[in-house]
Structure formats: C-alpha cells, structure tokens
Amino acid sequence: MHEDKLEKLLRDTLQQEVSKERHYLDGLEKKIVAELTGQLPKRGWLQTLTQLFAQMQRSRRRQLTVIGITAVIFLFLGIFVSERVPLVRGLFSVYDKQQKATIATNSDEGQLLFVMPAPGAQTVAVVGSFNNWKPILLTDEDKDGIWLTNLSLPPGRYEYAFVVDGRWWGQDPLADEYVRSFGGYNSVRYVGYAGDKI
Amino acid sequence: MYHVQDEASLLRASLDGEVEAWGEIVNRYKEAVFGLCLGFLRNHADAEDISHDTFIRAYENLYRYRVEKRFSTWIFTIASNLCRNRLRYRRHHPIAPLPAQMEGGCNPATTIAQEDRQAQIRQGLSRLPYRYRTPITLRYYNDLSYHQIARILSLPEGTVKTHIYRGKALLRQEIGEMEVINHA
C-alpha cells in the first residue's frame, strides 16, 4: 500500500473511531465541574508562601521583611567572619587536626599533640611542666597559620602554655582544664589516665 | 461566559479556583484527549475513564503547568502517562475481548472496500505493540509534530520517527496478509 494512502487511512480510521464513540463524552465537562466544585488546584510551596505573604496585614508584612533581611545579613556576616578572621578559621582547623591526631595516637598512648593557631607569627613555642618550662618550638610546615608539635610524654598531669612571638598564651582551647598562675592562666592536659582526652 | 475567552485566561481563572473555566477547557480538549486514550488503549471504557482522570489530575496539578509551554502538550503528557499505567494494570487484570464494533471484523454486511480497510486498520492497531501505537495515534489522530510527540512520550525524536515507521510497516504487512486471507 502506498505511504500517503496508508496515512490517510490511519487518519480517517482513528477519527471515525472517535466520532463513533463521541457520545461517551457527552456531559464530561459538567461531571468534572461538579466533582471539582469547591476544590482549589494544589499549590507549589512557593505559591503558597507568596499567597500567605500577600494575605498578611501590611504592618505584619513589613515586620517579616525586616526580620528576613536581618537574618540574611547576619548569615552573610557569619560566613564572612568565619572566612576572614584568622582565629575563627584557625579554631576550625585546630579541631580538625586534633581529631586526626586523636585517631593517630590511639595506638600510641603518651603522644600529646600541641596545636596553636597563630597566622603571621614568627615563632610559636610551648612551655610546660614536662620540661621545666623550657620552650619547645612548634612548626607550621604547610604555612596555614596552624603551628603544631607532637611530644611523647609519660602518663601524668601537665601544665603548659604557648609563647607566641614572646607573648604568653595560657588558655589553649583544647586543654582539659585551666589553672591560675602568676596572675594569668596555664592550661592543663592529662596523659595516660582513664578518661583523658588524648 | 467562558466559551469566548482565550486559553490563557481560562487557565488563569482555573488556577484561581474557577471550575467553570476549567469546564470550558475540558470541553475544548475532551475529544482530543479521548481520541488519544482510545488510540492508546483500544478500549472505550478505559479511554473514557482515563480521559476523566486526566482532566481531574491536570486541574489538581495546574500550578505545575508553565504558560510558556503548549497546554495541549502538557495535558497529552498526563493522558499518556495515565494510559501507560492503565495498560500496566490491564496486564494483570485483563478484560473481555473488545466488542465487534471496535474490532471491526469481516462483517458481510459491510463489504464496502473503504470500511473493510478501516476495519483492518483497527484490527491492526489493536495488535500493534504499544510503543508503536502511541506515536502513531499522536501523529495521525492528534496531528502532532515529531518534536511534540517526543516530548509527550519522553523519547528522542529519532526514536519516535523509527517507531512510527516500523508501526506503519507492521500495519501494511498485516493488511496485506488479511487481504490475502479474504481473497482466498
């Protein structure tokens, strides 16, 4: 059969088939209208929010706008601060390194990691009761401002502090406790005892 | 009131909950949707059910419709998906054979050549695999372009063309065989 003839036949057949069955469609729109009366189309979450917002009183809408804008400003400020301020950024890195060190030292009790965030510092040292308060230099090999050293220590309680470019820094955020000493603070870490953090 | 309005206004009104406007949309598209369903399913009862469900489903999900797209393509896509689901259901819940009116058949009373041919086409369509039948219906009943058919069936345009070509080849073969049987 020729192509055009078959196509024409297909069209005619399908149309005739529908026209024969058309009576089934009588009143379909009325039936559907009756079924849907009182029912609203569903809404997407964005449309629902927009509609709620539009229905609010003007003063309420203004309040909500101010709260929203303030929240967004604080969010961006928080991101900016955490990215820009070295101490905040450093703290995150310190915790990360401390976590890695904890995993590394699990099989080797007595290893104590000292970490100090000090971007731009020339020298960072740790002094403590473990070596009669003589400075032990920390290193920053990857130049990310996080200085660290790992010391092998026998079990015990150790008081210590950092010295950053000659300035005493006695409150290590990773210490187990703090003690007052000569008008300042020293940090304390425990090694080898049950319940210690290393 | 609604019958004079353009499609976009009717859809906007429907979205605002004016079901009468949706009724006018149903009125305009019911035959096209029913024809599509009948072509796909080859059963008027199922086609009627699915046409009804299509309009209900489309109204409920009207917010998903994007005005920059053709409404016909969108509603045909819904109908096509519902038809596919119904066919899947029918695989496990088959119905009695179609009445002679739908199947056509070689009724001695209808010996006019054209009617015979149409009956053969109807029979051929019913036997045709679903993947060939759907694009053929959309092409020759709904008069859609290959591009629109491809969007409705979520198939590449090339695949649509191939399916239509193969479907027609199978139909031609079936008609040829039937003619041989009838002449014997």
- Taking CB atoms and an 8 Å limit, are B27 and A29 in contact across chains? yes
B23 shares its domain with B79: yes
The reply to whether B117 touches chain A by the CB within 8 Å rule is yes
pTM value is: 0.56
Residue B96 lies in a domain: no
pLDDT classification of A98: cutoffs 50, 70, 90: low
Q: pLDDT (tens digit, 9 = 90+) per residue, A16-73?
A: 888 888 888 888 888 888 888 877 777 767 777 776 777 777 777 788 888 999 999 9
- Taking CB atoms and an 8 Å limit, are A21 and B44 in contact across chains? yes
B2 shares its domain with B84: yes
B174 shares its domain with B117: yes
User: What pLDDT is recorded for position B160?
Assistant: 94
Give chain B's mean pLDDT. Answer: 84
Q: Express as a percent the part of chain B with pLDDT over 90.
A: 46
CATH code assigned at B11 = 1.10.1740.10
pLDDT classification of B146: cutoffs 50, 70, 90: very high
* Interface residues on A facing B, Cβ-Cβ cutoff 8 A: 1, 3, 6-7, 9-18, 20-22, 24-25, 28-33, 35-37, 39-44, 47
Q: What is the full DSSP assignment across B75-102? A: HHHHHHHHHHHHHHHHHHS--PPPPHHH
Residue B18 lies in a domain: yes
Crossing angle for the helix pair B71-92 and B44-60, to the nearest 10 degrees? 130
- Taking CB atoms and an 8 Å limit, are A25 and B31 in contact across chains? yes
Of B59, B91, B123, which closes a domain?
A: B91
Residue B97 lies in a domain: no
Q: In chain B, how many domains are there?
A: 2
User: What pLDDT is recorded for position A196?
Assistant: 46
Q: What is the complex's ipTM, to 2 decimals?
A: 0.77
User: What pLDDT is recorded for position A102?
Assistant: 42
For residues A105-118, average pLDDT: 69
B65 shares its domain with B119: no
B179 shares its domain with B111: yes
More reliable by pLDDT, B69 or B137? B137
Domain encompassing residue B149: 103-184
Of B149, B47, B146, nearest to A25 by C-alpha is B47
Separation in Å, CA of B16 to nearest CA in chain A: 7
CATH code assigned at B131 = 1.10.10.10
User: What pLDDT is recorded for position B27?
Assistant: 92
Separation in Å, CA of B153 to nearest CA in chain A: 19
How would you write chain A as a 3-class SS string? CCHHHHHHHHHHHHHHHHHHHHHHHCCHHHHHHHHHCCCCCCCCHHHHHHHHHHHCCHHHHHHHHHHHHHHHHHHHHHHHHHHHCHHHHHHHHHHHHHHHHHHHHCCCCCEEEEEEECCCCCCEEEEEHHHCCCCEECECCCCCCEEEEEEECCCEEEEEEEEECCEEECCCCCCCEEEEECCEEEEEEEECCCCCCC
B109 shares its domain with B145: yes
Residue of B nearest to A36 (CA): B19
B82 shares its domain with B30: yes
Q: pLDDT (tens digit, 9 = 90+) per residue, B27-61?
A: 999 999 999 999 999 888 899 999 999 999 999 88
B76 shares its domain with B134: no
For residues A100-122, average pLDDT: 67
Rounded Cα distance between A120 and A140, Å, is: 11
B65 shares its domain with B142: no
Of B56, B91, B126, which closes a domain?
A: B91
For residues A149-172, average pLDDT: 86
Q: Please determine, for residue B120, whether its predicted confidence score (pLDDT) is greater than 70.
A: yes
Separation in Å, CA of A53 to nearest CA in chain B: 17
- For A142, residues 6+ apart whose C-beta sits below 8 A from its C-beta are none
- Taking CB atoms and an 8 Å limit, are A10 and B19 in contact across chains? no
- Taking CB atoms and an 8 Å limit, are B125 and A9 in contact across chains? no
* Residues of B with Cβ-Cβ distance to A1 under 8 angstroms: 172, 175-176
* Residues of A with Cβ-Cβ distance to B3 under 8 angstroms: none
More reliable by pLDDT, B63 or A194? B63
